[in-house]
Amino acid sequence: NTGYGSKLSVGGGGMSSNRLGFRGEEGMGGGLKAVWAMEAGINPDNGNVGAAAGTAGINQATASSSTSTGTANLFFGRQMFAGLEGGFGSLTFGRQYTASYLGGAGIVDAAGGGLYNNAALILGGGMPTRMNNSIVYKTPTMSGFKAHFTYSTGAENNVAGDVTAAGAACVVGVSCTTNDKAGRGWDLGLIYGA
């Protein structure tokens, strides 16, 4: 039942869109390889791109979007990156998951309603699921530990000075402006697995 009355959805993905992805790697010698990935959210029942609308231009919050069912302009809205991998770990560039999200996703179910309810609550609204124009460095695993560092350049916010944030809920004493630094951010995760 996908709405009022008995209705049938033929593959919309429920609370999240279906996935279509491509990954590749090319050995470059000496243990070094080039890696890339393109991951899309799709809704085969109606042909929609399965992602929320992007926030390109002047972001009011963060350089991220969800992968909820919907219509949007982000075809490869999950991840899209390329980079190098080797004995040093990996260094990739593009739209990528943050370590904070991966840590939260590990303790909740796919719909976000697990032991700690919703991964977004763990993040506290400060770090998005994915960051656009990001640089990600992942260390090799050492004694079960690895580090995951993400930095985003905030390239979507290309304005000369402070501007009113679109859709911002202005509260007395709280700024309703954004600027060219608003999309910048970093995230560091230490992950242990055994």
User: Pick from 75, 185, 176: which is nearest to 65 by CA?
Assistant: 75
Is beta strand 145-153 parallel, antiparallel or unpaired with respect to 163-164?
unpaired
pLDDT on residue 184 = 75
Which secondary-structure segment (H or E) carries 101?
helix 99-105
Backbone angles phi, psi at 104, to 5 degrees: -70, -40
Q: Distance between CA atoms of 23 and 69, rounded to whole angstroms?
A: 23
Helix (DSSP H) and strand (DSSP E) numbers for the chain: 2, 10
Backbone angles phi, psi at 49, to 5 degrees: -70, 130
* Residues of the chain under the 70 pLDDT cut: 1-16, 51-73, 104-128, 156-160, 164-183
- Tell me the CA distances in angstroms from 53 to 24, 38, 108, one per residue in order: 27, 18, 24
Residues making up the chain, counted from first to last: 194
pLDDT on residue 132 = 80
Q: Distance between CA atoms of 44 and 17, rounded to whole angstroms?
A: 9
pLDDT on residue 182 = 67
pLDDT on residue 15 = 58
